[in-house]
Amino acid sequence: MIEDRLTTELADIAAAGLTRRRRVLASPCGRLAAVDGREMLNFASNDYLGLAGNRDIAQAVADGALAWGAGSGASHLVSGHLAPHEAIEAELAAFTGFERTLTFSTGYLANLAVTPTFAGRGDAVFADKLNHASLIDAMQLAKANGADVQRYPHGDVAALERLLAASTAKTKLIVTDSVFSMDGDLAPLPLLLDLAERYDAWLVIDDAHGFGVLGPHGEGALAHFNLPAAKRILLMGTLGKAAGVGGAFVAGSALAIEYLLQKGRSYIFTTATPPAIACGLSRSLELIRGGDALRANLFARIGQLRDGLAGLRWPLLPSATAIQPLIVGDNEAAVALAKVLWERGLWVPAIRPPTVPKGTARLRISVSAAHTADDIERLITTLKELA
């Protein structure tokens, strides 16, 4: 039967304890979530500044929909590029310091556009082994286009330099997350930019978990490291995490973005996001720019969590970001711990292979500026009891 293989593979996934389940929320995204008829304290979202349920942003989206309609009607390059799209791209460029940006429906589509567009036959891609799945898929597309693809050990700048020095490719791309989504650590961007300069390579940065959070005013990982918006950098930022809305952008030089517009398949052949989303993002950018108090609370809560869980038998990885992974190790043990927390009203997801390496199943604690000191203390106390 045509579905036999699917049945077998799904059974294998279940037997390995790797079946994924969706939770249906009956409330907006926020620190509290109504799920399955009960209220949960939410440590599962990427809503780092607590903006996903912000009423001002929601009102801007609603007003935008009334003014511009529910949909864009076409791809950007046909008839779907409306005035709000043009405006938010200019605002994002000014905010990040780059000459120009291009907006996408999702971060996944943005990443799928960049690497295969800039690397093809005769070129080379050098990617961190812990890059996000979207960057890995983009790397595979580049490989299908004839590019030589090599992955260097996570954060190993010396290994990357050896690969760059040995490469005879005409065009080279270094591809990395800024904040790694399952470990929470930061890429050594100053060292990577130095290598890109010395070996005349593009530096492609996925700043999904840095944009809005890092930097003096939330400009992202480059601002955190006090790095310039160099012409050889292609910066991707998502707008559905700290920004609280949806979509993504790629920032770069005017020339690089024009090239991406002309040749990026997942940009050219995708319907543009509803213009109301751009209206909401404009308000979100204002709140990010003026969100120093939100970021201060976020980092205070991160510090509180790390101090409170120090010495626990499940170690936290060395992360200074909103992503705090608690390493449990065994898949079933991680799932069991998440289940007990759930029963106590704490939503902390278990992350298992293949998302993370075998033997490193974990709880991914996601801290938000919306969390209070009492929220964090409740999680600390519960985990200590369970340990």
Between 357 and 256, name the one with better pLDDT. 256
Q: Strands 38-42 and 100-104, how do they pair?
A: unpaired
Catalytic residue among 85, 132, 241, 371: 241
Q: What is the mean pLDDT of the chain?
A: 96
Catalytic residue among 85, 172, 209, 224: 209
What pLDDT, on a 0 to 100 scale, did the predictor assign at position 354?
Answer: 86
What pLDDT, on a 0 to 100 scale, did the predictor assign at position 342?
Answer: 97
- Kindly tell me if the per-residue pLDDT of 236 is higher than 80: yes
Average pLDDT over residues 180-204: 97
How far out from the chain centre does Cα 350 lie?
18
Confidence of residue 36 (pLDDT cuts 50, 70, 90): confident
Is-contact 347 32, C-beta < 8 A? no
Does the annotation count 181 as an active-site position? yes
Catalytic residue among 45, 72, 178, 181: 181
Fold for the domain defined by 16-49+292-386: Aspartate Aminotransferase, domain 1 (3.90.1150)
Closest CA to 214 of 244, 194, 237: 237
| Per-residue pLDDT tens over the stretch 243-279 | 999 999 999 999 999 999 999 999 999 999 999 999 9
- Kindly tell me if the per-residue pLDDT of 17 is higher than 80: no
Closest CA to 246 of 216, 220, 208: 208
Burial 341-367 (b: 16+ CB within 10 A, else e): bbeeebbbbbbbeeebeeebbbbbbbb
346 dihedral zone (left: phi>0; alpha: psi -120 to 50; beta):
beta
Q: Hey, which residues does 99 pair with through a beta bridge? A: none
| Per-residue pLDDT tens over the stretch 129-155 | 999 999 999 999 999 999 999 999 999
- Kindly tell me if the per-residue pLDDT of 21 is higher than 90: no
Average pLDDT over residues 162-186: 97
Domain ranges of the chain: 16-49+292-386, 55-289
Does the annotation count 231 as an active-site position? no
Average pLDDT over residues 64-77: 97
What pLDDT, on a 0 to 100 scale, did the predictor assign at position 79?
Answer: 98
What pLDDT, on a 0 to 100 scale, did the predictor assign at position 2?
Answer: 92
| Per-residue pLDDT tens over the stretch 301-318 | 999 999 999 999 999 999
What pLDDT, on a 0 to 100 scale, did the predictor assign at position 6?
Answer: 97
The domain 55-289: what is its CATH number? 3.40.640.10
Average pLDDT over residues 278-305: 98
Is-contact 233 203, C-beta < 8 A? yes
Confidence of residue 18 (pLDDT cuts 50, 70, 90): confident
